[in-house]
Chain A
Amino acid sequence: MRKSQPHAHLSRRYHFAASHRLHVDALSPEENRATFGKCNNPYGHGHDYTVQLTFSGAVDPVTGMVTNLADLDAFADREMFERFDHANLNTLECFRDLVPTTENLAAEIWRIFAEYPHATLERVRVEETSNNSFDYFGAGSQPNSATSHL
């Protein structure tokens, strides 16, 4: 018998394509251009986003899993892909009053997967391009000694 069931972290990467435009109505056209540069292009532009989710939990002694990937994939299909894949982010309810930067997108994806019932969400990483990625560890939390190594 082992003394306790091991805890592991499981990470899964998903990919979706979406368009957006970084623009804030409260700013003037000049200020928008100065702040957001080419991302302020009135017609919008798009990215292939990669979302890397990290969950923690006990490895189930029977199944050997932190969580069943079929459950996670079904949840992702229903809660994330349905909303974001091949969508214009600016048209979505969550970005009606919020500029759809990748930072804000990461926080929104956190809110989605924080509700996932079978494992504890530890980190959301969203890669906007291969050169830009954004990590979110939940409201009020900072990457610390417990999470910075993830």
Chain B
Amino acid sequence: MILLTRKAEFSAAHFYFNPAWSEEENERVFGRCANRQGHGHNYTLEVTVGGEPDPVSGFVVDLKQLKDILESEVISVYDHRHLNFEVPEFASTVPTTENIAVAIWRRLDGKIPNAKLHRVRVYEMPDLFADFYGEGA
């Protein structure tokens, strides 16, 4: 099996806040990320798929097709958006880097022809990233 990784970037705003908690509790747990004016990041998404190279084309997956899927399923929904207010999965889930990796996995799983989703890696910044290998992994 060959693993193939495609990168994409999106910029988005978010904040961390749990409405069940007091202001003080949110501040204590989430620090500056709890500021409800929001803040933003340039996220880098790395999607890794696994499969066998097609004997004729030599492709595990058609990269243009993969790029289009990332664009339609993720980038068009997340880029230049406020994750808390405009992306449905974060209406009641805190948009941490971990949860963004899980949400992107769920958006992409089963959508990539001839290849199996192997890993979703989301960089919030170059020094911080989260990996998700699927439910139960």
Partner-B contacts on A (CB < 8 A): 3-4, 6-14, 54, 59, 62-66, 68-70, 149-150
Please tell me if B58 contacts chain A, counting CB pairs below 8 Å.
no
Give min CB distance, B106 to chain A, whole Å: 9
When distances are taken between beta carbons in the complex, the residues of chain B under 8 Å from A150 are 131
- In the complex, are the beta carbons of B127 and A13 less than 8 A apart? yes
When distances are taken between beta carbons in the complex, the residues of chain B under 8 Å from A10 are 97-98, 128-131
- In the complex, are the beta carbons of A64 and B93 less than 8 A apart? yes
Partner-A contacts on B (CB < 8 A): 3, 16, 18, 20, 29-31, 93-99, 101-102, 118-119, 126-133, 135-137
- In the complex, are the beta carbons of B130 and A66 less than 8 A apart? yes
- In the complex, are the beta carbons of B95 and A12 less than 8 A apart? no
Q: Which of A4, A13, A63, A68 contacts B128 (CB 8 A)?
A: A13
**How far is B95's CA from A11's CA once the two chains are assembled, in angstroms?**
17
When distances are taken between beta carbons in the complex, the residues of chain B under 8 Å from A6 are 102, 132, 135
- In the complex, are the beta carbons of A149 and B119 less than 8 A apart? yes
Give min CB distance, B12 to chain A, whole Å: 15
Q: Which of B93, B132, B135 contacts A3 (CB 8 A)?
A: B135
- In the complex, are the beta carbons of A59 and B128 less than 8 A apart? no
- In the complex, are the beta carbons of B98 and A59 less than 8 A apart? yes
When distances are taken between beta carbons in the complex, the residues of chain A under 8 Å from B16 are 63-64
**How far is B128's CA from A69's CA once the two chains are assembled, in angstroms?**
10
